[in-house]
Amino acid sequence: MNKIELLIFDLDGTLVDSRKDIANAINYSLKTLGFTEKDVGTITGYVGEGLKSTMYKALDNAHDEVLDKAVELFRNYYIIHPVDHARLYPGVEDFLKNSSSIKKAVLSNKDHAICVKTLELLDVNRYFEIVVGGDNYNCRKPDPCSLIKIMEYTKVPKEKILMVGDMDSDINAGKNAGVKTCAVTYGFRKRDELEGHNPDYIIDGILELKNILN
C-alpha cells in the first residue's frame, strides 16, 4: 500500500459522538410542528445522507412544505446547541495530536457552518487542512464529488488517501473516488452493516489507525 499522506474523516459517529445533540435538534423541530418526538436510537438510524433525508424520515415522509420548515427549525436550533452533549470519541484527540506528519480533512454531510463550530467548540479545528460540509458543493456522500474537491485542494493523489467513517455512505464515497476506506465500528452503524460494504479496513477504536499507517 502507498504511504498514506491524507486522512479524510467523517465527523458524526467517527470523530464526535453527537447523537444526543442531533436527536435534541430533531425533536425540537418535531415538537414545534406538532409531531411526536422520537428516541435517540431511532433518530440515529435516520442519520447519514444529509439533514433533509434525516428529517424526511423523522417526519414519517411529510410533504415538502412541512419538511422545509422542519429543516429550518433544526438549523436554527442546532447552530446554537451543537455540543451541549457531544464529545470526542476515546482516543481521537490523542491521535490528532500525535499524527501531525499526516494531512487531515473532515468530510461531512452536515452543514459546513455546524461542522466548523463543532470542531471549534471541541478545540480540534486546528488539526484539519480543510473542512467540507454537505452544503459546500451541494454534494453529499456517497457521491464522491466533495471528496474529489478535497483531493484537489490538498494535492494528494488518491493512492495516498484513506477515507475514515462509520457509515456505508463514507465507505461508498471513498470507493467512488478511488481511495482506500476504513470503517469504524464504534459509531452510528454496527460492524455487520459495515462489513457488507467491503471497506479496506475495519477498526474498533481510532488509535488502531496507527497500525494501518505503519
The set of catalytic residues is 10
The Cα-based distances of 158 to 21, 115, 129, 150, 152 in angstroms read: 34, 24, 16, 10, 10
Do residues 142 and 136 lie in contact, with contact meaning Cβ atoms separated by under 8 Å? no
CB within 8 Å of 148: residues ≥ 6 apart: 177
Q: How would you classify the pairing of strands 201-203 and 87-88? A: unpaired
The residue behind cell 471549534 is 120
Q: Cα–Cα distances in Å, from 48 out to 81, 155, 182? A: 19, 27, 16
